[in-house]
Amino acid sequence: MQDFENECQAMGAFGGKMKHIIQMYGNSKDEVGQGSYEQYTAENPIPEKIIWKLFLCLAQGCAMLENGDEDLSGDPVFGEDLNCVHFDMKNENVFIKTTDDEHTETPLLVIGDLGLIQIISRPPMSISQYRLMQRIGTIIALPPEQYESSYVADFGIKQYLGTGINIWGIGKIMHHLITRARECIPQAYFNVPLPYQYMWTQLDTEDAQSWVMTQGPLLLEAPYSYQLRRIVLKCLAMDYNKRPSARELLGVITQALGEIERSEGMAGGGDEMDLDEEMENAAVNLGRLDVEDVGEGV
């Protein structure tokens, strides 16, 4: 019953366009979608343009959570003092719909299961409030700011929970998709020392200050472009301040898709370009992530 009340409260607070968030209660299976996103990970490998388009759906859903409206031209529906956090962003809670006229090359991904959603105040957050919300969600999907680790404390990122949790969640989902359903589960969830999954990554080779501690060494093996892997690594940054906002994420994704579509147009006559060549064009002006720029961490 509490989950039902949480979802109703959140759905009532949202305004404007709401295509990438779905109400679970009171909807038929057809209205919710054709099963969960996990079914789509069986497509292996998925072409990069499709990956970016699916990423766009998730980013638009995050924009809805972050601003209360997918249209970012206005002020946040929740005001400047509140955050909306899904608290259970994972593969099983992203659903596939195929009845949308705007999505001609891909299905429409929608974020559902708002039973744990919370509309909470921005910092400062009291210790009691932090402790109360620290373990909300599925343990293997928790971001660093929600689990106990002396390493996390060293970063000074505890006792604040906000929309960076939503970004971490879709970063985990994209990791699952582009690494062909392989998980990156921080071992710190299980109270062991600093996990090997974390690594120092330089997000911009021209900026010496762009090093971040992030998760996802399996991304280095993925057969996709540097800028796609880079933005997913940024979503998985240990420090939520290093993660992009939904607005920033949408900017990166739409720019990448624009470059891909322009490169397809230059190919002429609908001839297919080699994936590496196609994404090399898309990488222009987006920066590069090189394997040599990634260390093993501490």
For residue range 20-32, what is the model confidence (pLDDT) as tens digits?
A: 455 444 454 444 4
Q: Which residue has the higher pLDDT, 266 or 85?
A: 85
Query: Does residue 124 have a cis bond before it (omega within 30 degrees)?
Result: yes
- Whether 69 has a pLDDT exceeding 50, the answer reads yes
Q: Write down the mean pLDDT value for the chain.
A: 70
Asked if the structure places residue 298 within a domain, the reply is no
Least reliable range by pLDDT among 97-106, 192-201, 217-226, 288-297: 288-297
Which pLDDT score is estimated for 156? 53
H or E segment at 119? strand 118-121
Higher pLDDT, 238 or 26: 238
Q: Enter the DSSP assignment of 134.
A: T
Report if residue 122 sits inside a domain.
yes
Amino acid identity, position 68: G
- Mean pLDDT, range 231-254, rounded to an integer: 91
Q: What is the pLDDT of residue 293?
A: 35
pLDDT of residue 226 exceeding 70, the answer is yes
Q: What is the mean pLDDT of residues 29-54?
A: 63
Which ranges of the chain does DSSP label H, i.e. alpha helix? Answer: 2-13, 29-32, 48-67, 127-133, 150-154, 164-178, 226-235, 246-267, 275-283
CA distance 187 to 194: 7
Asked whether the beta carbons of 140 and 176 are under 8 A apart, the reply is no
- ∠ at Cα 148 (142, 149), nearest 5°? 110
Measured distance CA(45)–CA(233) in Å, rounded: 19
Domain containing residue 61: CATH number: 1.10.510.10
Query: Do the beta carbons of residue 283 and residue 225 sit within 8 Å?
Result: yes
Q: What is the pLDDT of residue 3?
A: 52
20: CB partners within 8 A, 6+ apart: 57, 58, 60, 61, 64, 70, 108, 109, 110, 111
Residue 75 reports pLDDT greater than 90:
no
Per-residue pLDDT, averaged over 158-185, amounts to: 81
Mean pLDDT of 168-192: 72
**Residue whose entry in the numeric block shows the structure tokens 């994404």:** 279
CB 70 within 8 A of CB 19: yes
pLDDT category of residue 273 using cuts at 50, 70 and 90:
very low
User: For position 248, what pLDDT does the model report?
Assistant: 93
Q: Which two tokens stand for residue 246?
A: 């939904």
162-166, 188-192, 220-224, 284-288: lowest mean pLDDT where?
Answer: 284-288
pTM over 0.75: no
Joined tokens for residue 125: 């957050």
Q: Give 213's strand partners.
A: 200
Cα–chain-centroid distance for residue 110? Answer: 13
pLDDT digits (tens, 9 = 90+) for 108-139: 888 888 888 888 877 667 777 777 787 788 87
Q: How many domains does the chain have?
A: 1
What's phi and psi for 200, nearest 5 deg? Answer: -80, 130
Domain that holds residue 175: 2-293
Give 2-22 pLDDT, tens digit per residue.
Answer: 554 455 455 455 555 555 455
Q: Does residue 216 come out as left (phi exceeding 0), alpha (psi in the -120 to 50 range) or beta?
A: left
Q: Residue 91: phi, psi to the nearest 5? A: -55, -45
Stronger pLDDT, 208 or 289, i.e. the higher one? 208
pLDDT at 66: 83
At 56, the amino acid letter reads L
pLDDT at 197: 63
Closest CA to 119 of 41, 241, 5, 21: 5
Percentage of residues of the chain with pLDDT beyond 90: 13
Q: Which whole number is the average pLDDT over 34-63? A: 74
